[in-house]
Amino acid sequence: MLMNVIERPLRLLRRDSGPWQRAALLMAGVAGLLCGAPAFVFAQDLEKSEIHAQALRGNLQALLGYGSNIAVSTGPDGTLLVDDEYADLTPKVRAALAALQSSPVKLIVNTHWHDDHTGGNEVFARDGALIIAQENAGRRMRTDQIMSLYGPQKAYPPVAWPAITFDQALRLRWNGDDIDVIHVGPAHTDGDAIVLFRKQNVLLTGDLFVGYSYRPPYFDDLNGGSAHGMIAAADTLLGLIDERTIVVPGHGEVTNRAGLQDYRDRLVLIVDRIADAIARGLTEDEVVALHPTEGFAKAGRGTDRWVRVVYREYHPLSR
């Protein structure tokens, strides 16, 4: 049955992100730079979180909640999910699926390995779901990791690992649609995948696109992410879709091509501000003091760290 739903990988052209090298961050400093809430506040937020469904097109729904956005495809082949939230929210995801009267989850596509997108893997896999992810994401799920800003993520048990991994792309035929799962190169992490439902013209971006306008786009610079990669990924996504495409970001409100274009342009403007300051000979501290994210994100510990990471990425002595 597996060979009936997976075709040979698509051959896609992508821009090489180049051999850029960034200055390594001291691991001991990661915890001190965390911008998230204390653990007990986070747990309270999860407990209060509600997951609600939003119709997309045809048999596709989005589940929107505290963690990652989820896409749900229902039909005769069984339920397919794109991402599956934090583990603690799995009961609420189950309840939302039951409200949709969906059949058992048979297939899950992870857009990357961060636990707000993969936390439900274990439970759904124990129920029989098959998990698909880009090969770097699969590798990282098998071992302990350190996420920039957010700290440790423990290795998942084997049952939660992807049963199928891919390098560049694969195509699924599921519930009457042709579904392309594409790795567009290192961007948010080194194992990102986007999911394009071709017939229904719906794109799931994972965290290559996050629909928040009040903070800079997060990328995991300790694990293959970069501002350059995020911009290149946004350009690639814009080339794959049209004005009718429904765009579901990794977090935030469902939007369209114009929303993705606005996000890309905001990111480019911030990076251009930093690159211009570098060209004028400003130091890292001086660039932080300029608040180059003004108009898009408030200055603060997390934002200032982001500026420093981008400064090191684009400074010629750091490449």
| DSSP letter, residue 46 | H
The phi, psi pair for 212, rounded to 5°, reads -105, 135
The two structure tokens encoding residue 51: 């997951």
Mean pLDDT by 10 residues, the chain (319 residues): 40 33 34 41 68 96 93 97 96 96 96 97 98 98 94 97 98 98 97 98 97 82 97 98 98 96 95 97 97 87 92 86
Q: Supply the pLDDT for residue 295.
A: 85
CA dihedral 306, 187, 217, 85 (to 10 degrees): -120
DSSP string for residues in 166-212 = ESSEEEEEETTEEEEEE---SSSSSS--EEEETTTTEEE-GGGS-B-
Chain centroid to Cα 131, Å, comes to: 16
**22 CB-side CA count, 13 A:** 20
70: which strand partners?
A: 63
224, 136 contact by CB (below 8 A)? yes
- In this prediction, residue 31 carries a pLDDT of 35
Q: Which residues contact 267 (CB under 8 A, 6 or more apart)?
A: 216, 217, 227, 230, 231, 234
Rounded to whole angstroms, the Cα distance separating 71 from 89 reads 15
- By C-alpha distance, which of 219, 157, 217, 153 is closest to 188? 219
238 membership: H or E segment, kind and range: helix 227-240
pLDDT at res. 300: 81
Domain 2-255 homologous superfamily, CATH: Ribonuclease Z/Hydroxyacylglutathione hydrolase-like (3.60.15.10)
**Cα distance between the two ends of the chain:** 47
For the record, the structure tokens of 315 come out as: 């400074």
Nearest C-alpha neighbor of 180 from the set 121, 244, 236: 236
